Structure 1
Amino acid sequence: MYKRMLLPVDGSPPSERAAALGLALAKRLSAAVVFVHVIEPHRYRELRDNQEALERARTVGKALLEQWARKADQAQVACLTQLTSTQPEGRPGVAEALMDAGVAHGCDLVVMGTHGRTGLPRVLLGSVAERMARLAPTPLLLVRGDGLESTLFRRILVAFDGSAYSELALQHADALAGALEARLSVVYVVPDLTQLYRSAGRAWMFTDQAQLQTRLAQEQAHLRKQGELILHEAAGRCTHAPAVHTVLREAGRHLIGERIRQVAEEEQADLIVLGTHGHTGLRKFLLGSVAEDVAQQARQPILLVRNPAALTHPDASHLPPPGER
């Protein structure tokens, strides 16, 4: 499973909540943690002297890291800390600084907090999570600042559609469920062909509405059967989770993401696992997609698992599925 977690901290409530959850998860998995604070002097704009602002930022950052190092020591979790900056060597931003730290320390999971006001475009430290999802070679666990009470995961839900992206998410969800002895639910949402036909402009192909409805009903039934088969095969590939439950749900006139959220509530899931394409970053993947609604509305933490083949960072190494190290 995960061996070393990157926990960015900036002192904000969402960051504190995510770091606490990450520390508890690391203890349960016998993993090490790396607390990283990125110095941002612009936060101290009231100080007119740039050097004074920089020193203040360093002082606050060091104190924050020392605080979390003590917590890790009390929890008996191996810990490293790093104080870094966005300014040296022309580094463009916080996400890049965090990513460099994660790669340097060999981290295989990032745990970050989100404000949860309007979804991922409004994440902790600006748009850091969006860039981390595009650049980092690791899964990203997002913890909402206003979500469910942070506890170790007992019920995990993974969205599965048979694609390579969801297959990798299934592997991570299964391994995590096994390590935490958690119940794993696998959900497949059958898309509504009526909506697909209309959005694709294909309804004109049928001048007879009765013929159209008959054809749609036949194809919809085929999709349901296909979904049942996909779920059956997915459950068979879960070899670590102590209990696996499959859920087939029709989208109907609802968004697929909405259905996933509904199932998460019904299953009382405290973690949702989703695969991402990762070609152009989380923002591209989320906006107008299934995960947008899940990320913006779900109360649960969300584990985003990228496709390793889509990594774009030159220093990123391809990570094997958890448990195959």
Structure 2
Amino acid sequence: MYEHILFPTDGSDGAAAALAHARNLAETHDATLHIMTVIDTSSPHIGMTTAGPEGATTGMVAEEHDESEPGMVGEEHNVESSLQERAQAIVEAAADEVDTVDTITTVERGPPHSAILDYANENDIDLIVMGTHGRTGIERYLLGSVAEKVVRTSNVPVLTARLGDDTT
């Protein structure tokens, strides 16, 4: 029934709660488990700034910028590689936990819900298994929910697992 299962993860405890479900389904159906994380390009990077009118700057930057300078300004150039390294570590850690099934790992970029749906469509995904943080009320309203957006707009079934769900 399922040949390709997508497990999007942000490395959180909520995502980890869904990993056991994804592994069990992949084992049961002899499916390939696609493990992905998304570098959210829809959010501005902290510390990334641009010059304003007449050379003025916004945010916390030095007047003269040298790539070798330590601290916040000098590390701006390493933000992308740091995000990529952290994202790669997240998918590799998840893949290590499910070594009983075939896995494909990937790091995508973009708004998370869009990247998940695009990947699912482009890779013939049969099922998406993802965790939720279990937020309610104003916190959910203010922070939004990637899982909720995926559930509402996906063309394939989506299984969600909340942190604390029994995964045995």
State the TM-score, normalizing by the size of structure 2: 0.76
Task: Return the offset for 1:213.
Answer: 8.1
- Which residue number in structure 2 is paired with residue 264 of structure 1? 120
2-structure distance, mates of 1:222, 1:232: 15
Check 1:298–1:186 CA distance in 2 against 1; reply closer, same or farther (3 A cut). Answer: same
SS at structure 1 position matched to 2:116: helix
The yes-or-no answer on 1:303 pairing with 2:159 is yes
1-structure distance, mates of 2:21, 2:64: 45
After superposition, give the CA deviation of every residue in 1:276-313 in whole Å (9 maximum; x if it has no partner). Answer: 112427x93797232233223210110010111xxxxx
The yes-or-no answer on 1:227 pairing with 2:87 is yes
- Which residue number in structure 2 is paired with residue 163 of structure 1? 12
1-structure distance, mates of 2:20, 2:77: 33
How many correspondences in the alignment? 152
Question: Which runs of 5 or more structure 2 residues have no equivalent in the other structure?
Answer: 48-57, 67-71
The yes-or-no answer on 1:247 pairing with 2:91 is no
Higher relative contact order (CA 8 A, sep 6+): 2
- Which residue number in structure 2 is paired with residue 4 of structure 1? none
Check the 8 A contact 1:168/1:305 in 2, yes or no: yes
Check 1:285–1:158 CA distance in 2 against 1; reply closer, same or farther (3 A cut). Answer: farther
The yes-or-no answer on 1:204 pairing with 2:59 is yes
Superposition pairs for residues 1-325 of structure 1, below 5 Å? Answer: 152-192=1-41, 195-197=44-46, 204-206=59-61, 215-241=75-101, 243-251=102-110, 255-280=111-136, 284=140, 288-308=144-164, 319=166, 321-322=167-168
State the TM-score, normalizing by the size of structure 1: 0.42
Task: Return the offset for 1:225.
Answer: 0.8
Check the 8 A contact 2:126/2:156 in 1, yes or no: yes
1-structure distance, mates of 2:9, 2:106: 10
2-structure distance, mates of 1:304, 1:170: 10
Task: Return the offset for 1:191.
Answer: 2.6
Check 1:191–1:227 CA distance in 2 against 1; reply closer, same or farther (3 A cut). Answer: same
Which letter does structure 1 place at the counterpart of 2:157?
P
Check the 8 A contact 1:175/1:240 in 2, yes or no: no
SS at structure 1 position matched to 2:59: helix
2-structure distance, mates of 1:295, 1:277: 14
Q: Which has the larger radius of gyration?
A: 1
1-structure distance, mates of 2:141, 2:26: 26
Check 1:293–1:286 CA distance in 2 against 1; reply closer, same or farther (3 A cut). Answer: farther
